[in-house]
Chains A and B, each alone.
Chain A
Amino acid sequence: MLKFNGPKKVIELLENFFDTVDQGVLVFKNGVSNYLYGNTDNFNDNLSSLTKLESSADILRREIENQLYSQSLMPQFRGDILRLLEEMDTIIDIAKENLSQFDVEIPNIPPELNQDFVKLTELSISAVESLMPAVRAFFRTPDTVKDQIHRVYFYEKETDKMATAIKRKVFRDMSNLKLSEKIHLRYFTLHIENVSDEAEKVADLLSIMAIKRTI
Chain B
Amino acid sequence: MFLLFISSGLFLGWSLGANDAANIFGTAVGSKMLSFKKAAIIASIFIILGAVIQGSGTTETLSKLGTVDAIGGAFTVALCAAFTVFIMTRNKLPVSTTQSIVGAIIGWNLFTNNKTDYSILTTILTSWVAGPIIGIVFAALLFLLTRWLLHKLKIHLIKLDGYIRWGLIIVGAFGAYSLGANNIANVVGVFMSSAPNLIIDLGLFQLNGAQLIFLLGGVSIAIGVFTYGSKVMETVGSQIMNLSSEAAMVVVLAQALVLFIFSSTGLSNFLETVGLPRIPLVPISSSQIVVGAIIGIGLVKGVQEIKVKTLGGIFLGWILTPIAACILSFFALFFVKNVFNITVTSAVASIPATPVDASSMVATSAMKHVNMVWPFTLMVIVVVVALFVFYIIKQQKLRVKAQDELYKKQNDFYIAQKALTELELKTIRLENSSLASKLEFKRKELINYALNIIEQQNFMASILDKLIEIKNINKDSEREEMLDGLIVLIKQKMANSDKVKNFNIEAEKMHKDFYQRLSDQFPDLTENDKRLATLLRLGFSSKEIAPLLNISPKSVEIIRYRLRKKINLKKGDNLIQFINNL
Contact = CB atoms under 8 A, between A and B. Distances in A.
Interface of A: 1-2, 4, 6-8, 10-11, 14, 72-77, 138-143, 212-213, 215
Contact of B161 (A8, A73, A141, A212): A73
A140 B161 CA distance: 12
Contacts of B155: 140
Given A75-B31, A140-B154, A215-B146, A7 B244 contact: no
In this complex, the member of A6, A73, A74 whose beta carbon has the largest number of chain B beta carbons within 10 angstroms is A74
A203 to B, nearest CB: 18
Task: Give the interface SS of chain A, mostly helix, strand, loop or mixed.
Answer: helix
A213 B161 CA distance: 12
Contacts of B166: 2
Nearest to A141: B154
A215 B148 CA distance: 11
B245 interface: yes
Most buried by B among A11, A77, A215: A215
B162 A73 contact: yes
B150 interface: yes
Of B34, B146, B156, B166, chain A has the most CB atoms within 10 Å of the CB of B156
Contact of B32 (A2, A75, A213): A75
Interface string B512-548: 0000000000000000000000000000000000000
A212 B301 CA distance: 13
Contacts of A138: 157
A72 B244 CA distance: 17
A104 B550 CA distance: 43
Nearest to B241: A76
Given A75-B31, A76-B31, A215-B150, A7 B247 contact: no
Contact of A11 (B32, B35, B156, B245): B156
B158 A10 contact: yes
A141 B151 CA distance: 7
Contacts of A74: 157-158, 161
B399 interface: no
B162 A213 contact: no
A215 B146 CA distance: 9
B159 interface: yes
Interface string B242-275: 0011110000000000000000000000000000
B147 interface: yes
Contact of A77 (B156, B157, B165, B247): B157
A75 B33 contact: yes
12 contacts: A1-B35, A7-B158, A73-B158, A74-B157, A74-B158, A75-B31, A76-B244, A77-B157, A77-B161, A213-B157, A213-B244, A215-B150
B162 A4 contact: yes
Interface of B: 31-35, 38, 143, 146-147, 150-151, 154-159, 161-162, 165-166, 244-247, 301
Nearest to B169: A2
B32 A143 contact: no
Contacts of A4: 162
Given A213-B157, A215-B301, 19 more contacts: A4-B162, A7-B156, A7-B159, A8-B159, A11-B159, A75-B31, A76-B244, A77-B157, A77-B161, A138-B157, A139-B156, A140-B155, A140-B157, A141-B151, A213-B244, A215-B143, A215-B146, A215-B150, A215-B244
A135 to B, nearest CB: 11
A77 B31 CA distance: 10
B162 A140 contact: no
Contacts of A141: 151, 154
Contacts of B35: 1
Nearest to A81: B157
Nearest to A4: B162
A159 B169 CA distance: 50
Nearest to B244: A215
B157 A215 contact: no
A132 B151 CA distance: 20
Contacts of B33: 75-76
Q: What 10 A-B pairs come out closest when comparing CB atoms?
A: A75-B32, A139-B157, A74-B161, A215-B244, A7-B158, A140-B154, A215-B246, A7-B162, A7-B159, A139-B156
A213 B158 CA distance: 12
A73 to B, nearest CB: 6
B32, B155, B158 — which one has the most chain A CB atoms within 10 A of its CB? B158
B236 to A, nearest CB: 16
Nearest to B246: A215
Given A4-B162, A215-B247, A143 B151 contact: yes
A2 B150 CA distance: 22
Nearest to A15: B156
A144 to B, nearest CB: 10
B41 to A, nearest CB: 13
A205 to B, nearest CB: 15
A139 B158 contact: yes
Contacts of B244: 76, 212-213, 215
B106 to A, nearest CB: 43
Contacts of A14: 158
A76 to B, nearest CB: 6
Nearest to A142: B157
